[in-house]
Amino acid sequence: MTLHPPVVGHCDELLEALGAFRASAHVTQRWGDRLADVLSGGGRLLAAGNGGSAAQAQHLTAELVGRYRDDRPPFSAIALHADTSSTTAIANDYGVDEVFARQVRAHGREGDVLMLLSTSGASANLLSAADAARAAGVRVWALTGCAPNPLMAGSDESLCVEAPSTATVQEIHLVAVHMICAAFDAALERGARGARTARGAGRAAQRKRR
Protein backbone atom coordinates (compact mmCIF):
# COMPACT_ATOMS: atom_id res chain seq x y z
CA MET A 1 0.00 0.00 0.00
CA THR A 2 1.29 3.45 -0.91
CA LEU A 3 1.00 6.04 1.86
CA HIS A 4 0.40 9.49 0.46
CA PRO A 5 2.28 12.43 2.02
CA PRO A 6 -0.85 14.10 3.47
CA VAL A 7 -1.70 10.90 5.37
CA VAL A 8 1.74 10.36 6.88
CA GLY A 9 2.14 14.11 7.29
CA HIS A 10 -0.92 14.23 9.52
CA CYS A 11 0.63 11.67 11.86
CA ASP A 12 3.89 13.61 11.91
CA GLU A 13 2.05 16.86 12.69
CA LEU A 14 0.13 15.18 15.50
CA LEU A 15 3.28 13.69 17.02
CA GLU A 16 5.00 17.06 17.00
CA ALA A 17 2.03 18.84 18.58
CA LEU A 18 1.59 16.12 21.19
CA GLY A 19 5.24 16.29 22.17
CA ALA A 20 4.96 20.03 22.75
CA PHE A 21 1.63 19.68 24.59
CA ARG A 22 3.11 17.19 27.06
CA ALA A 23 4.70 20.14 28.83
CA SER A 24 1.16 21.28 29.74
CA ALA A 25 0.42 18.16 31.79
CA HIS A 26 0.67 20.16 35.03
CA VAL A 27 -2.26 22.33 33.90
CA THR A 28 -4.51 19.36 33.10
CA GLN A 29 -3.50 17.92 36.48
CA ARG A 30 -4.51 21.13 38.24
CA TRP A 31 -7.80 21.31 36.36
CA GLY A 32 -8.65 17.70 37.20
CA ASP A 33 -7.83 18.27 40.87
CA ARG A 34 -9.94 21.43 40.95
CA LEU A 35 -12.86 19.74 39.21
CA ALA A 36 -12.77 16.97 41.81
CA ASP A 37 -13.11 19.58 44.56
CA VAL A 38 -15.90 21.47 42.79
CA LEU A 39 -18.00 18.50 41.66
CA SER A 40 -17.63 16.43 44.82
CA GLY A 41 -18.73 19.52 46.73
CA GLY A 42 -21.99 19.75 44.79
CA GLY A 43 -20.81 22.12 42.05
CA ARG A 44 -21.22 21.71 38.32
CA LEU A 45 -19.19 21.73 35.12
CA LEU A 46 -20.67 23.49 32.11
CA ALA A 47 -19.01 22.91 28.74
CA ALA A 48 -19.50 24.22 25.22
CA GLY A 49 -17.94 24.40 21.78
CA ASN A 50 -18.88 24.68 18.12
CA GLY A 51 -18.67 21.93 15.51
CA GLY A 52 -15.94 19.42 16.32
CA SER A 53 -15.21 21.26 19.55
CA ALA A 54 -18.82 20.68 20.60
CA ALA A 55 -18.19 16.95 20.25
CA GLN A 56 -15.06 17.22 22.42
CA ALA A 57 -16.91 19.22 25.09
CA GLN A 58 -19.70 16.65 25.14
CA HIS A 59 -17.12 13.88 25.40
CA LEU A 60 -15.83 15.51 28.59
CA THR A 61 -19.26 15.81 30.20
CA ALA A 62 -20.08 12.21 29.25
CA GLU A 63 -16.94 10.97 31.04
CA LEU A 64 -18.01 12.81 34.22
CA VAL A 65 -21.68 11.87 34.23
CA GLY A 66 -20.82 8.32 33.20
CA ARG A 67 -17.28 7.23 33.98
CA TYR A 68 -13.79 7.49 32.56
CA ARG A 69 -12.12 4.19 33.50
CA ASP A 70 -13.21 2.74 36.83
CA ASP A 71 -16.67 2.82 38.34
CA ARG A 72 -17.43 5.83 40.53
CA PRO A 73 -20.42 8.06 41.37
CA PRO A 74 -21.82 10.33 38.64
CA PHE A 75 -21.10 14.05 38.75
CA SER A 76 -22.99 17.05 37.39
CA ALA A 77 -21.70 18.13 33.97
CA ILE A 78 -23.75 19.72 31.20
CA ALA A 79 -22.82 20.20 27.54
CA LEU A 80 -24.68 23.40 26.71
CA HIS A 81 -24.78 22.84 22.95
CA ALA A 82 -26.46 19.45 23.41
CA ASP A 83 -29.79 21.03 24.39
CA THR A 84 -31.00 21.63 20.84
CA SER A 85 -34.37 23.09 21.82
CA SER A 86 -32.74 25.70 24.06
CA THR A 87 -29.94 26.56 21.64
CA THR A 88 -32.26 26.96 18.66
CA ALA A 89 -34.84 28.94 20.64
CA ILE A 90 -32.17 31.26 22.05
CA ALA A 91 -30.57 31.70 18.63
CA ASN A 92 -33.96 32.52 17.14
CA ASP A 93 -35.02 34.96 19.87
CA TYR A 94 -31.73 36.52 20.98
CA GLY A 95 -29.16 35.76 18.28
CA VAL A 96 -26.46 33.11 17.87
CA ASP A 97 -24.00 34.98 20.08
CA GLU A 98 -26.29 34.35 23.08
CA VAL A 99 -26.84 30.59 22.70
CA PHE A 100 -24.35 29.68 25.45
CA ALA A 101 -24.30 32.87 27.51
CA ARG A 102 -28.00 32.64 28.33
CA GLN A 103 -27.63 29.02 29.42
CA VAL A 104 -24.65 29.95 31.60
CA ARG A 105 -26.84 32.54 33.32
CA ALA A 106 -29.52 29.88 33.82
CA HIS A 107 -27.37 26.99 35.05
CA GLY A 108 -24.15 28.49 36.39
CA ARG A 109 -23.65 29.16 40.09
CA GLU A 110 -20.77 30.81 41.87
CA GLY A 111 -17.91 28.35 42.21
CA ASP A 112 -18.90 26.27 39.17
CA VAL A 113 -16.57 25.80 36.19
CA LEU A 114 -17.21 26.60 32.52
CA MET A 115 -15.00 24.78 30.00
CA LEU A 116 -14.92 26.34 26.52
CA LEU A 117 -13.29 24.60 23.56
CA SER A 118 -12.40 26.47 20.38
CA THR A 119 -9.77 25.82 17.73
CA SER A 120 -9.77 29.48 16.69
CA GLY A 121 -10.25 30.99 20.14
CA ALA A 122 -12.38 33.65 18.48
CA SER A 123 -15.96 32.31 18.45
CA ALA A 124 -18.30 35.12 19.46
CA ASN A 125 -20.78 32.84 21.25
CA LEU A 126 -18.00 31.41 23.42
CA LEU A 127 -16.63 34.86 24.23
CA SER A 128 -20.14 35.92 25.32
CA ALA A 129 -20.40 32.78 27.45
CA ALA A 130 -17.09 33.59 29.13
CA ASP A 131 -18.33 37.09 29.96
CA ALA A 132 -21.57 35.72 31.41
CA ALA A 133 -19.69 33.15 33.47
CA ARG A 134 -17.30 35.65 35.02
CA ALA A 135 -20.24 37.90 35.91
CA ALA A 136 -21.86 34.94 37.71
CA GLY A 137 -18.73 33.94 39.62
CA VAL A 138 -18.18 30.86 37.44
CA ARG A 139 -14.54 30.04 36.70
CA VAL A 140 -13.70 29.92 32.97
CA TRP A 141 -11.20 27.50 31.44
CA ALA A 142 -10.44 27.51 27.72
CA LEU A 143 -8.94 24.91 25.42
CA THR A 144 -7.93 26.71 22.24
CA GLY A 145 -5.66 26.65 19.24
CA CYS A 146 -2.63 28.85 18.81
CA ALA A 147 -1.99 31.72 21.20
CA PRO A 148 -2.68 34.56 21.52
CA ASN A 149 -6.43 34.61 20.91
CA PRO A 150 -9.47 36.43 22.34
CA LEU A 151 -10.85 33.45 24.29
CA MET A 152 -7.53 32.90 26.01
CA ALA A 153 -7.58 36.56 27.08
CA GLY A 154 -11.17 36.31 28.31
CA SER A 155 -10.69 33.19 30.46
CA ASP A 156 -9.32 32.63 33.94
CA GLU A 157 -7.00 29.91 32.61
CA SER A 158 -6.29 28.52 29.17
CA LEU A 159 -4.45 25.75 27.38
CA CYS A 160 -3.40 26.67 23.86
CA VAL A 161 -2.39 24.04 21.32
CA GLU A 162 0.31 25.11 18.89
CA ALA A 163 -0.56 23.24 15.69
CA PRO A 164 -1.06 24.35 12.08
CA SER A 165 -4.34 22.52 11.38
CA THR A 166 -7.78 22.47 13.00
CA ALA A 167 -7.83 18.67 12.95
CA THR A 168 -4.65 18.37 14.99
CA VAL A 169 -5.82 20.97 17.51
CA GLN A 170 -9.04 19.00 18.02
CA GLU A 171 -7.12 15.74 18.44
CA ILE A 172 -4.89 17.29 21.10
CA HIS A 173 -7.99 18.69 22.81
CA LEU A 174 -9.30 15.13 23.12
CA VAL A 175 -5.99 14.12 24.71
CA ALA A 176 -6.39 17.02 27.14
CA VAL A 177 -9.93 15.89 27.98
CA HIS A 178 -8.66 12.43 28.88
CA MET A 179 -5.76 13.85 30.90
CA ILE A 180 -8.20 15.98 32.90
CA CYS A 181 -10.43 12.95 33.50
CA ALA A 182 -7.45 10.87 34.67
CA ALA A 183 -6.43 13.62 37.09
CA PHE A 184 -10.05 13.97 38.25
CA ASP A 185 -10.39 10.27 39.05
CA ALA A 186 -7.00 10.19 40.80
CA ALA A 187 -7.98 13.16 42.98
CA LEU A 188 -11.25 11.47 43.94
CA GLU A 189 -9.38 8.32 44.91
CA ARG A 190 -6.91 10.28 47.02
CA GLY A 191 -9.82 11.95 48.76
CA ALA A 192 -11.53 8.61 49.37
CA ARG A 193 -8.33 7.12 50.81
CA GLY A 194 -7.90 10.13 53.07
CA ALA A 195 -11.48 9.81 54.30
CA ARG A 196 -11.00 6.10 55.02
CA THR A 197 -7.78 6.85 56.92
CA ALA A 198 -9.51 9.54 58.95
CA ARG A 199 -12.40 7.22 59.81
CA GLY A 200 -9.97 4.50 60.87
CA ALA A 201 -8.06 6.93 63.07
CA GLY A 202 -11.32 8.12 64.60
CA ARG A 203 -12.42 4.58 65.44
CA ALA A 204 -9.00 3.80 66.95
CA ALA A 205 -9.21 6.90 69.14
CA GLN A 206 -12.68 5.88 70.35
CA ARG A 207 -11.44 2.41 71.28
CA LYS A 208 -8.59 3.92 73.29
CA ARG A 209 -10.99 6.15 75.22
CA ARG A 210 -13.03 3.14 76.17
Sort 81 into a burial class: Cβ within 10 Å, 0-12 / 13-18 / 19+.
buried
Query: Which pLDDT value is given to residue 7?
Result: 79
Query: Which pLDDT value is given to residue 8?
Result: 86
Q: What residues are paired with 78 via a beta bridge?
A: 46
Query: Which pLDDT value is given to residue 69?
Result: 94
Query: Which pLDDT value is given to residue 203?
Result: 59
Q: Which residue blocks in the chain are alpha helix, DSSP H?
A: 5-21, 25-40, 52-65, 84-94, 101-107, 124-135, 150-153, 166-209
Query: Which pLDDT value is given to residue 193?
Result: 72
Distance separating alpha carbons of residues 94 and 132, to the nearest angstrom? 15
* pTM over 0.85, yes/no: yes
Query: Which pLDDT value is given to residue 199?
Result: 58
Q: pLDDT per position in the chain (210 positions), as tens?
A: 555 677 788 899 999 999 999 999 999 999 999 999 999 999 999 999 999 999 999 999 999 999 999 999 999 999 999 999 999 999 999 999 999 999 999 999 999 999 999 999 999 999 999 999 999 999 999 999 999 999 999 999 999 999 999 999 999 999 999 999 999 999 999 987 766 555 555 555 566 666
